[in-house]
A and B are shown apart, each in its own frame.
Chain A
Amino acid sequence: MIRSLRPWLTRLYPRAWRIRYEEEFTALLEQCLNSPLDVLDILLGAVDAHLLLLSGESLNWRVMNMLNKIRTAVLIVFAAYIGFIIAGFSLVGLADDSPMAALMKTDPALSAVWKTIAAGALVALLAVVIGGLPLAITVIRRALSDSHHGLGLLLVPVLAFLALVLYAAFVLAAGLGRIHIPGVFQAVQPGAFPPGNRLLMAGLMATFVLGAIASTLAVWKVVSRTDIEQETFRAIKLSMTVKIYNFAFWPAVATTLAMFVMLVATLTWGSLAFSSLPGVFTGNFGPWGTSTQVWFTSVILVMTLSTVVAFLGLMRGRSRQKLT
């Protein structure tokens, strides 16, 4: 009974402490965890370890804690970026096949702002790919070699993507009339979306959003278990050692800045578009005949929240350079 508590007791210690001592401490507990007094002693030891970390008494710990802060900062920015992507796709859904799309072809200012949003999206995507590549390779390597559980978590984004592709194919087949679903019509007029079609598209959106959330949580979990500061990459005759979390920090800054630029550009785009077409803003020109006003406000809210969260994540990791 008491011996089964071993993994839980070890987890009570700070992560920075566990990085350094967990293996040997666990080996010790396998031999000497026998009584409730032993459990109490470990509980007190865990409290002391947290207090020691808080006091900043231990420099090495602080360095390890800073590395954890960078990792958490990078993960927060990644999660915020996924939130921003969801809002971005929703914005594209709002602009596509609406009077705003036609207006953008004739209004140079509106077109320029839209291109700014697209450029921001490209910069953010490149930053995430560049910053995340060494981390992704490291995590996959570790998952393949050390932990089948980690490998299972990495399958979540793949399965989420497959589910989205299958659902999209189903929607497309329904739209083309290959599959007949009662209440779903092939040809619909803007602003008059049948409830069946709306439900079908809402399902697609839900598959996308839930898949994105599940994938983000799975990636977060598997990355937070990867207690590796640096990794060596070899290609042909080249060998390079990368501090994976430090390397990802500046791309995370670039992603956050790109998100801020896109947020400002989206607000500007909405202001320009809806001042030219006020009827569109008050009408139902959102995806699947939903309220434009509600849809656009939701997009702005999610973008703002994502940008603020990403900024706060960066603030959390900002002091790392002093110690690493």
Chain B
Amino acid sequence: MEFTDFGHFSDPSLLILASLAGGNKHGYAMMDDIQAMTGVRLGAGTLYGAITRLEQAGLIESLPVDERRRPYRLTAQGAALLHQTLSNLEKFAGLGLKRLAAV
């Protein structure tokens, strides 16, 4: 799979994909969920910069507006990319931990 470049928003994009892997959410719910998962509170500008790129890349898609809030959900492509990225991170983390253990 080709790596998608999210520019300056690569980390927030990963956080959003991970958040939506747990279910459909609108912007504010994503902010709360990401803060609960990682302790990171994304700003509104950062969040929507990443949402814009993810939606354009076809990794997430919008659902009908519910009282001025628009929920988003992970697409199959987004789920596959998240899986690949997290697997790579897992391998990287495993390798790093092995090396640390040898120090």
A interface list, Cβ under 8 A from B: 17, 21, 23-29, 31-33, 37-38, 40-46, 48-49, 52, 57-61
Selected A-B contacts with CB under 8 Å, 10 pairs? A17-B52, A21-B52, A23-B70, A27-B67, A27-B69, A28-B28, A28-B69, A33-B44, A45-B46, A52-B52
A24-B26, A59-B56 known; A48 vs B69 contact (CB < 8 Å):
no
Say whether, besides A48-B8, A49-B49, A24 and B44 are in contact (CB < 8 Å). no
Nearest-CB distance from A8 to chain B (Å)? 14
Q: Categorize the interface residue count of chain B.
A: 20 to 34
Q: For the complex, what is the distance from the CA of A38 to the CA of B43, rounded to whole Å?
A: 6
What CA separation (Å) do A52 and B26 show in the bound complex? 22
Question: B1-14: contact bitstring with A at CB < 8 Å (1 yes, 0 no)?
Answer: 00000011100000
Query: Are B56's CB and A43's CB within 8 A?
Result: no
With a cutoff of 8 Å between Cβ atoms, the chain B residues found around residue A29 in the complex are 44
Check A24–B70 contact: CB distance below 8 A: yes
Set B48, B52, B68, B70: member contacting A58, Cβ < 8 A = B52
Are A24 and B49 CB-contacts (below 8 A) given A31-B28, A32-B44?
A: no
Question: Taking the nearest CB of chain A, how far is it from the CB of B78, in angstroms?
Answer: 17
Q: Does B22 sit at the interface, judged by CB under 8 A?
A: no
Residue from B45, B48, B51, B70 whose CB has the most chain A CB atoms within 10 Å:
B45
**Cα A27 to Cα B66 with chains together (Å):** 11
- Residues in A with CB closer than 8 Å to B82 are none
| Known A-B contacts A42-B43, A45-B43; A25 and B56 likewise in contact (beta carbons under 8 Å) | no
How far is A52 from B48 in the complex, measured between Cα atoms in Å? 12
Greatest chain A CB density within 10 A among B27, B47, B49 is at B49
Number of A-B contacts (CB under 8 A): 73
Contact A21 B48 (CB under 8 A): yes
Taking A21-B52, A28-B27, A49-B52 as given, write out 15 further A-B residue pairs in contact, using a Cβ cutoff of 8 Å, ordered by the A residue number: A21-B51, A26-B68, A27-B27, A27-B68, A27-B69, A28-B26, A38-B44, A41-B44, A41-B46, A45-B43, A48-B8, A48-B9, A48-B45, A49-B49, A58-B53
Query: What's the nearest-Cβ distance from chain A to residue B33, in Å?
Result: 14
Q: Does B18 contact A (CB under 8 A)?
A: no
Contact partners of B68 in chain A: CB under 8 A: 23-24, 26-27
Chain B residue, CB-CB nearest to A45: B45
Residues A37 and B45 in contact in the complex (CB < 8 Å), given A24-B70, A27-B68, A60-B56: no
Contact of B69 among A24, A32, A45, A49 (CB under 8 A): A24
Given contacts A24-B26, A32-B31, A48-B8, contact A58 B56 (CB under 8 A): yes
Q: Is B65 an interface residue (CB 8 A)?
A: yes
CB-based nearest B residue for A24: B70
Which B residues lie within 8 Å of A38 (CB)? 43-44
* B41 and chain A: residue at smallest CB distance: A32
Q: Which residue of B lies closest to A48 (CB)?
A: B49
Out of B26, B31, B45, B52, which one reaches A42, CB within 8 Å? B45
CB nearest neighbor in A for B68: A27
- Residues of B within 8 Å of A61, CB to CB, are 56
Q: In the complex the two chains form, what is the Cα distance from A45 to B48 in whole Å? A: 8
Once the chains are docked, how many angstroms separate the CA of A17 from the CA of B27? 16
Distance to closest chain A CB from B2 (angstroms): 15
| Measured CA separation A41–B40 after assembly (Å) | 14
The distance from the CB of A218 to the nearest CB of chain B, in whole angstroms, is: 29
Given contacts A49-B49, A52-B53, contact A23 B44 (CB under 8 A): no
